[in-house]
Structure 1
Amino acid sequence: MMRWGNSGQAADSFYQVRPDCSQNVPSTKFKIKAGKTLSVRKWHAAFTREGCLDIASVLSRIQRGGVHPAIRGEVWEFLLGCYDPGSTFDERDQIRHRRRMQYARWKEECREMDSHVSSGKIITAPIITEDGFPINDPLVLLEATQGTSSSSSSSSTTRVEVSDSTNRVTDRQIVDWKLTLHQIGLDVLRTDRSMVFYENKENLQKLWDILAVYAWIDKEVGYCQGMSDLCSPMIVLLNDEADAFWCFERLMRRLRGNFRCTQQSVGVENQLQHLASIIQVLDPKLHDHLETLGGGDYLFAFRMFMVLFRRELSFGDSLYLWEMMWALEYDPDIFTYDETGVATHKIEGSKPKILNNVNGHLDAKRTCAVALKLHRKYLKKMQGKKT
């Protein structure tokens, strides 16, 4: 049973860590505080009898103290634009039903292409060759490539049984999708495994299925490492798999640009350039020091931008950081909704060299406070330059 928590209670009780991992996993600094954290009572009071949400009345509370873990899932659906605050309870029920049906159709389409989808199993080894020939026993390939270098792994495909040409998949999009499935599986098995929540194999399967379906419907981006970190909180917060999928899909509308990488540029390159410009204004000496160290390209922040500080913060603190950012930037004008309730977000959103030792150890609350202070300082300096 979910505990509601008292003022000052940390959110760790809602995101329990396995006892054998408790020594290595940092606890959250986020505290549930009366009068600051958006409470269950305050959230429910923000709705009219018909179900319309006065979102302005809750945004400032979220900005000050985050969201109570008991209602995070439903609050996030509004912050991410899954639902129009002006919609009624009945309208949202209808939209939710249509979306669940759509997800079920996409999932069935994926299951028809590969029976592992919705099977309770997770693929962790290739099931198809680059040329589209199905590999009969992926476990053989997994055993064959263990302990070998990446340069020799491609030749190991000759040691497994590959189907003949009559079973060859010729559709390039299907082949590309199937080639990502084992990478999704490997990432899923590494994502938030310290949490008690993922001791339940059904939750792991949800995460794998959602990422597999998303990789199919967003063919331009497909699946990239790091998406499992962004999707995992949705599985934890929303009980229904389809609802978790749509929340993740809305988040990806903001962040999919992060995963667009070409030989000429990386997805977060613009953000890294913005960071460099900001540091140069706020702290020229630090910028020059980074240049001296060879970090002037700011690649050390690559992962931070890619997965929104999921690796630098504890699980609970990363959720607090996300919802605070979304509340600060929330603008009803950035979302447009069609008659089916589909929202369109008008704004899309080499190895790191330094700061690799901050995994899980940043204080989200303090970091946010300092960030806002720096933001005000930056604006003041820029205004001074204009005058």
Structure 2
Amino acid sequence: WSRSASSHRFLHVMAECIEEHWAEVNGSDGGGESSGGEWCAPGNRTCPGKETIKWQNKSVYIQISESCSQMFGCLSIRVEDEGQSVYIVWNPADNPNQAATQAVSNLQYAICTHISQIYSIRLIRPSLGTPQIILNLRSGCSHPPMFFHSGRALEFQSKLQEHATLTRCDADASTLLVNDSSNMLQRSLHGLDMVQSSPGVVRSRAPTKPSTPDCQAEIDGDELEWSREIGGEWQWRYLQGGVRVMQGLRSGWKKASAVASDVAASAAELLDQIDTPATSMEMPLEPPHHSAGSRSACKASDLRCGDDECVFVEHEPLPWEDQGLIEEAEFRGFFEANGRIRDIQKLRRRAYYGGFAPNVRRDGWKWLLGCYPVNSTRKDREHLLQQKAKEYEAYRRQWESITADQESRFSKFRDRRHRIEKDVIRTDRSIDIFVDDNGEGLQKLYRILLTYSFYNFDLSYCQGMSDLAAPLLVVMEDEVEAFWCFQKLMDLMEPNFHKDQNGMHTQLQTINTLCKDLEPELYEHLEKKDCSNFYFCFRWLLIIYKREFSLQDVFRLWEAFWSRVRGQDLHLFVALAILREHKTSIIEEDMEFDSVLKFVNDLSGRMDCREVLKDADFLSQEAQFRMITTRSTRNSLGCA
């Protein structure tokens, strides 16, 4: 570190940031100290009354002091005058068991703050603990910290950014300045993506006017010039190493010292590679990209865990973004001139965030289900469909050729045929192609299911398969194509229908584990009521929510499941997302198993598919992050 005196100064600045972070790790989930120094006194707590709710979370609580109990309520972002006026609102939840005087007392803590009154928002997201935000007002005081009991703190930030400019504070990465008019050049560079933004990493930036005592620029002009000379790559690796020091602090000072020494050696090696400022100008101004199409936001997969350490970058799940349906013109753009798909993973990701329009769903589903080889051309697929049509006819002729005399001595076939006939006549009769008792739609569905029982002798036919086959026939329209899509779907779903039900029990046990980790309050109630087997989710998983949503919503859900963007267990997180949304009712009404079963069955047709999918996406990322963090923690503690 003898290369430059400024390097010592820069290291000192980082050490101060680390110490601040260490203090935050140890105390951020307690009372939640105000950066403004005092809480706001009760005042005007109501909005004009004509605002529109743009976002809300009903599981946000405040705690005035450590001696006070948690006060749950609903946090929302509201706008009026076509977005000209934006309010952040928190209202205490209604509790029918609460005394009227106490309810009135709670109302004094209601919050309704116009965005123009907010100077900054401090977003505290500890690795372990409850995320919280503190609204620091321009008057110098602050609202009490608001704790996100069910997560979604970053979702709040993302939604608020649609209505206000949030600028990360130079010296405190957890503080966001609201509509900050200072340092316009820096904001412009960020808007043009000319300054690399990496959540959770302390950054060296140009000095700005000190905004608050807790948020001051520490680096003078000479140090800024030094940072420019050494190049973007060095800055990125050095600062990333600083985060490794923070991670070391969690494991103990001895280990932190070892990691810091390693970081210093790595940085010195990079300094030796820099000869002139001209050379540094050619260095990249952002960290290396992990893969094509990766986002700048940190993902759980960005945690690289080894035997001795885990490089920790603060976890920020990618916010859900509904990108709209894939229309025909866009769908054609995924293919080359000869019909070969350019990037199947890109199509899967696009389907996950938007789904297919009706006129391309027929082909889109075949790609998601794996009916087509990835490298196939258009002619290859035409030839494949012709072959599959002949195969289907061969399987179908096997049961069609059974004579009445043979059937009289074939009890298994008679039983199979009877069960299919009984289920088909009750399947989706409200859908146009299945309305007529003697219509072609029901006849096609019957033939598909009976033919599959001859294709898969071991599994044969089980109740529930008609629910899975019917939507495929609606989309494909063609009997042969619907059969082969059903065959691919059953390859994924077959464990659900095994007689030993091991596949279903494994999934229910996984939900049990996820609920215990991600929703401990709900899990505690269910366990107390002997409901922790989660048998009330059985129908959801067996036919992947076919009877819980409208047909179009089922299409959307299935496309998200089949995309595999969040792995093969997204449907389990959908179950947890539904339970989390309604956990207040389940707990407050003290539901037993029968009550929970009736309650979840009554939810059918009353849920917002896109909200459920968005919550499931968040839970999936949170579970992945916790799994990696837990593994790295166990490694650092020397656990097996």
TM-score normalised by L of structure 2: 0.42
Alignment match, 1:67: 356
Alignment match, 1:370: 615
The whole-number CA distance in structure 2 between the counterparts of 1:274 and 1:241 is 36
The whole-number CA distance in structure 1 between the counterparts of 2:507 and 2:356 is 27
Task: Select the residue among 285, 300, 311 that pairs with 2:547.
Answer: 311
Task: Select the residue among 88, 101, 105 that pairs with 2:390.
Answer: 101
Q: Deviations over 1:141-199 (max 9, x none)?
A: xxxxxxxxxxxxxxxxxxxxxxxxxxx52xxxx53132111211111111111112212
Query: SS at 2:548's partner residue?
Result: coil
User: One-letter code of the match for 2:471?
Assistant: P
Correspondence 1:353 to 2:597: yes
* Moved segments of 4+, more than 3 Å: 328-331, 350-354
Correspondence 1:36 to 2:281: no
Alignment match, 2:418: 182
Residue 267 and residue 178 in structure 1: after superposition, are their counterparts in 2 closer, same or farther (change >3 A)?
farther
The whole-number CA distance in structure 2 between the counterparts of 1:56 and 1:96 is 23
Deviation at residue 360 of structure 1 after TM alignment: 2.4
Correspondence 1:238 to 2:476: yes
Alignment match, 1:52: 340
Query: SS at 2:597's partner residue?
Result: coil
Query: SS at 2:619's partner residue?
Result: helix
The whole-number CA distance in structure 1 between the counterparts of 2:566 and 2:372 is 13
Gaps (5+ residues) in structure 2?
A: 1-320, 568-592, 634-640
Deviation at residue 374 of structure 1 after TM alignment: 1.1
Q: Deviations over 1:223-278 (max 9, x none)?
A: 1111001000111111221111000000000001100022xx45411000111000
Alignment match, 2:441: 203
Q: Deviations over 1:294-328 (max 9, x none)?
A: 21111011111110000111111011001012113
Residues 420 and 461 of structure 2 are in contact (CA less than 8 Å); yes or no, is this contact kept in structure 1? yes
Residues 424 and 466 of structure 2 are in contact (CA less than 8 Å); yes or no, is this contact kept in structure 1? yes
Query: SS at 1:223's partner residue?
Result: coil
User: One-letter code of the match for 1:375?
Assistant: S
User: One-letter code of the match for 2:443?
Assistant: Q
Residues 38 and 58 of structure 1 are in contact (CA less than 8 Å); yes or no, is this contact kept in structure 2? no
Residue 357 and residue 114 in structure 1: after superposition, are their counterparts in 2 closer, same or farther (change >3 A)?
farther
Identity among equivalent pairs (%) = 30
Alignment of 1:64-143 (within 5 A): 64-113=353-402
User: One-letter code of the match for 1:316?
Assistant: Q
Deviation at residue 57 of structure 1 after TM alignment: 3.4
Correspondence 1:380 to 2:616: no
The whole-number CA distance in structure 2 between the counterparts of 1:197 and 1:223 is 22
Q: Deviations over 1:98-157 (max 9, x none)?
A: 100010111111101167xxxxxxxxxxxxxxxx996xxxxxxxxxxxxxxxxxxxxxxx
TM-score normalised by L of structure 1: 0.68
Higher relative CO (Cα under 8 Å, sequence separation at least 6) belongs to 1
Residue 374 and residue 34 in structure 1: after superposition, are their counterparts in 2 closer, same or farther (change >3 A)?
closer
Deviation at residue 367 of structure 1 after TM alignment: 0.7
Gaps (5+ residues) in structure 1?
A: 1-32, 116-131, 135-167, 332-349
The whole-number CA distance in structure 2 between the counterparts of 1:198 and 1:102 is 26
Where is the strand percentage greater, Structure 1 or Structure 2? 2
Q: Which has the larger radius of gyration?
A: 2
Q: Deviations over 1:195-236 (max 9, x none)?
A: 122125101100000001101221111111110010001111
Alignment match, 1:282: 518
Alignment match, 1:129: none
Q: Deviations over 1:54-93 (max 9, x none)?
A: 2233223211111101111111111101001210111111
Deviation at residue 48 of structure 1 after TM alignment: 1.1
User: One-letter code of the match for 2:615?
Assistant: V
The whole-number CA distance in structure 1 between the counterparts of 2:395 and 2:627 is 48
- Tell me the C-alpha RMSD between the 2 structures: 2.4
Matched residues, number: 282
Residues 321 and 364 of structure 1 are in contact (CA less than 8 Å); yes or no, is this contact kept in structure 2? yes
Where is the helix percentage greater, Structure 1 or Structure 2? 1
The whole-number CA distance in structure 2 between the counterparts of 1:48 and 1:383 is 39
